[in-house]
Chains A and B, each alone.
Chain A
């Protein structure tokens, strides 16, 4: 497992909001060690039996939390993220969707300068099945096991996790890195962590069209990852040119199609699955004790 285990102490920024509150309840029910909520102005109250503090700093001092999951609205996320970094949080999981990318870029720069890890934004979060769930993933779909997953997508990750679980294949940790162009964690860091993790045997990498992160990760895998990796790319049928700016095209340099990513996977020794069930089949064959899916 990586990033999270049953001892990870988590604060929830935005725990008293509608979405934050609902998911705080679900995370507690899953068994995540949620220790506090943070909502400025609501310090001293409670949410789902947890203390609420006015600041992340106070929550960290009182509870020893090392992880913060952020559910605040898009235009408040830059502020909330800076607050978490400056309070000494080590892992931020930023769920919020719709943050303007320049805000994210500013936050990412601050996160990196302080050696903090950030997953997201616009992500489903992280789950180490049976131990801890931080985010909005549906816990019941996952089960403990030896397959690590890293993905840019939310519901597609659930779909593939479901196919694995139904085939009897459990997961060590699943990391939803998020669908925004600018993000805290790309593929490479989780890939390296899975590669080093003794409880992970096989890695599933889920990508989609746009950018060149998958191509770069494929080259990284060939050099650094000594475990089998199964790849899945969504968007073979997506039309080209949608929402691609003139200056954006220049950076991608013709890369970014599903074909390019799949070719890059194959060229670097990553098996490519075409359906979620095929992912389960290929993973099953790659495990040390093969599972027939």
Chain B
């Protein structure tokens, strides 16, 4: 789950990382209650990146100008992310911008610091990027090792090292996937202040991070409606632009099935991993979600049972076909209780394909010909 900038900065402040004074407004007239002096910066609170380039950050000199600009900003949608509120901050006069982040390095299998002394522009290709692998248990010297690698000296060395250590402690405490300060300002007076923040909380840790209980609804707003619904149901959906809906158990098999649909001349309409051990109810929900996609002409269900029992899946299919008898459905089931499943499906007029390639080819064919129900 991603946080908005203002929420990230609240966490920074809680962790002892300096942030600028600020106020958050949801209506233009609330700007009158903000006492930060003039000029100020108004920043759209959105989930998407590229906010500055899109015009989502504006400097205003007076209250009158501010109200007018705030009205426009509050109505903005940046890359599908609707402005949630505005963060109002005074202007920070800086002489230097640093990029600082903590994340998990999957190849090294440990958390790492990532930083650049010349800021976060083009960070992916910046040759000056420094990384430090974090070892357990964490001690603050690891933050100093990073500050040293960045070539910092004196007061700024000590402040950046301290902020890095505090950022790591937040990263560990709240099970974050990413804690990023970009930019980290160094002022003329050698103060070091977090200018912007991005925080991602690990989805698997949400069950034990009680601070964020109930936050999900507000923070999944930018997902397409069916992807949001899937996430709540514990299903993993990504929608694509093709017309063959795909449901499988297991991420690798789902991707491989999409690839085969493409290879045999079709276009996958989605990725939906129903997970291992999905029961009847969860399978039915998965099929209903794909069915609701208006671009989907055919549904291809490919289940290879390890944990999943075929008859549970078949029961879900029987129920689904009762509700939607006109849906074109291609079913490949293989594994535990396959024979039982085959009999159940026959009664609903569905053919069972034991072979994955036959099923994929049948789905591609059904998507082309617009033939009627049943797809025999």
Which of A85-93, A222-230, A239-247 is the contact stretch? A239-247
Chain A, residues 167-191, CB within 8 Å of chain B (1/0): the string is 0000000000001011100000000
What's the Cα separation between A238 and B255 when bound, in Å? 7
B residues near A212, Cβ cutoff 8 Å: 107
Q: Is the CB of B252 within 8 A of A152?
A: yes
* Other-chain contact of B255, A99, A101, A235, A254 (Cβ < 8 Å): A235
In the complex, A232→B124 CA distance in Å? 28
With contact pairs A155-B306, A239-B238, A275-B260 given, residues A208 and B136 touching in the complex (Cβ less than 8 Å)? no
With a CB–CB cut-off of 8 A, which chain A residues contact B106? 181-182, 210-211, 213, 248, 251
- Report B-chain residues with C-beta under 8 Å of the C-beta of A24: none
Q: Is residue B123 contacting chain A, with contact meaning CB distance below 8 A? A: yes
- In the complex, whether A20 has a CB less than 8 A from a CB of chain B is no
Q: Which of B37-45, B203-211, B289-297, B321-329 contacts A (4 or more CB under 8 A)?
A: B203-211
CB distance from B170 to the nearest CB of A (A): 12
Which residues on the A side are within 8 Å of B75 (C-beta)? none
Q: Of the candidates B111, B262, B307, which one forms a contact with A236 in the assembled complex, judged by CB atoms under 8 Å apart?
A: B262
Asked if A157 is an interface residue, CB under 8 A from chain B, the answer is yes
Contact A237 B268 (CB under 8 A): yes
Of A7-15, A41-49, A52-60, A102-110, which binds chain B? A102-110
Q: Which residues of A contact B205 (CB under 8 A)?
A: 100, 102
Q: Which residues of A contact B102 (CB under 8 A)?
A: 247
Contact B111 A155 (CB under 8 A): no
How far is it, in angstroms, between the C-alpha of A240 and the C-alpha of B274 when the chains are bound?
Answer: 21
Q: Is the CB of B251 within 8 A of A208?
A: yes
Q: Are A98 and B204 in contact (CB under 8 A)?
A: yes
Number of A-B contacts (CB under 8 A): 171
* A275 in contact with B357 given A157-B252, A159-B304 (CB within 8 Å): yes
Q: Are B255 and A209 touching (Cβ within 8 A)? A: yes
Q: Is the C-beta of B200 less than 8 angstroms from some C-beta in chain A? A: yes
A277 at the interface (CB under 8 A from B): yes
Identify which of A101, A136, A238 gathers the most chain B CB atoms within 10 Å of its CB: A101
A250 to B: closest C-beta gap in Å: 5
Interface residues as binary, B245-259 with A (CB distance below 8 Å gives 1, 0 otherwise)? 000111111011011
Are A100 and B204 in touch, CB under 8 angstroms? Answer: yes
CA distance A246 to B249 in the complex (A): 29
From known contacts A108-B109, A251-B107, infer whether A245 and B178 are also in contact, taking CB-CB under 8 Å: yes
Binary interface encoding of chain A residues 145-166 relative to chain B, with 1 for a CB under 8 A from any of its CBs, else 0: 0000001111111110010000
Q: Kindly provide the distance from the CB of B202 to the nearest chain A CB, expressed in whole angstroms.
A: 5
Tell whether A102 pairs with B252 under 8 Å between CB atoms, given A137-B306, A211-B106, A234-B259: no
Q: Which chain B positions have C-beta within 8 A of A159?
A: 253, 256, 304, 356
A274 close to chain B: CB less than 8 A:
yes
In the complex, which residues of chain A have a beta carbon less than 8 angstroms from the beta carbon of B177? 101, 245
- Residue from A104, A136, A245 in contact with B200 in the complex, judged by beta carbons closer than 8 Å: A245
The residue from A102, A138, A181 contacting B306, defined by CB atoms under 8 A apart: A138
Chain B: number of interface residues, binned into ranges:
35 or more
Q: How far is the CB of A159 from chain B (nearest CB, A)?
A: 6
User: Separation in Å of the B286 CB from the closest CB of chain A?
Assistant: 15
Bound Cα distance A101, B172 (Å): 10
A162 CB to closest chain B CB (Å) equals: 7
Q: Would A277 and B357 count as touching, CB distance under 8 A?
A: yes
CB proximity of A18 to chain B, nearest CB, Å: 10
Is B49 on the interface with A (CB-CB < 8 A)?
yes
Chain B hits for A98, CB < 8 A: 204
Nearest-CB distance from B18 to chain A (Å)?
Answer: 21
Report B99-131 residues with CB < 8 Å from chain A CB: 101-107, 109-112, 114, 123-124, 129, 131
A154 (CB) vs chain B CBs: closest residue: B250
Instruction: Verify if B93 is at the interface (C-beta below 8 Å from A).
Output: no
In the complex, whether A285 has a CB less than 8 A from a CB of chain B is: no
CB within 8 Å for A242 and B238 given contacts A155-B253, A235-B255: yes
For window 30-75 of A, CB contacts with B under 8 Å fall at 74-75
A139 to chain B minimum Cβ distance, whole angstroms, is 10
Assembly CA distance A151 to B251 (angstroms): 12
Residues on B with C-beta less than 8 A from A249 are: 124
Whether, in the assembled complex, B6 has its beta carbon less than 8 Å from a beta carbon of chain A, the answer is no
Give every chain A residue within 8 A of B304 (Cβ-Cβ): 155, 158-159, 162
Residue numbers in B under 8 Å from A248 (CB-CB): 103, 106, 178
A sample of 16 inter-chain contacts (CB < 8 A) reads A102-B111, A102-B175, A104-B109, A109-B110, A136-B276, A138-B305, A154-B253, A159-B253, A159-B304, A210-B106, A238-B258, A246-B180, A247-B101, A247-B180, A274-B263, A276-B356
B-binding residues in A (CB < 8 A): 19, 74-75, 97-102, 104-106, 108-109, 124, 136-138, 151-159, 162, 179, 181-183, 206, 208-213, 216, 232, 234-239, 242, 245-251, 253-254, 258, 274-277
10 A-B pairs closest in CB distance = A153-B252, A155-B250, A156-B252, A181-B106, A234-B255, A155-B253, A100-B205, A247-B103, A235-B255, A247-B101
Given contacts A210-B106, A239-B240, 16 further A-B contacts (CB under 8 A): A100-B208, A101-B177, A102-B171, A105-B104, A105-B111, A108-B110, A109-B109, A136-B306, A154-B306, A156-B252, A158-B304, A159-B356, A213-B107, A239-B238, A258-B259, A275-B263
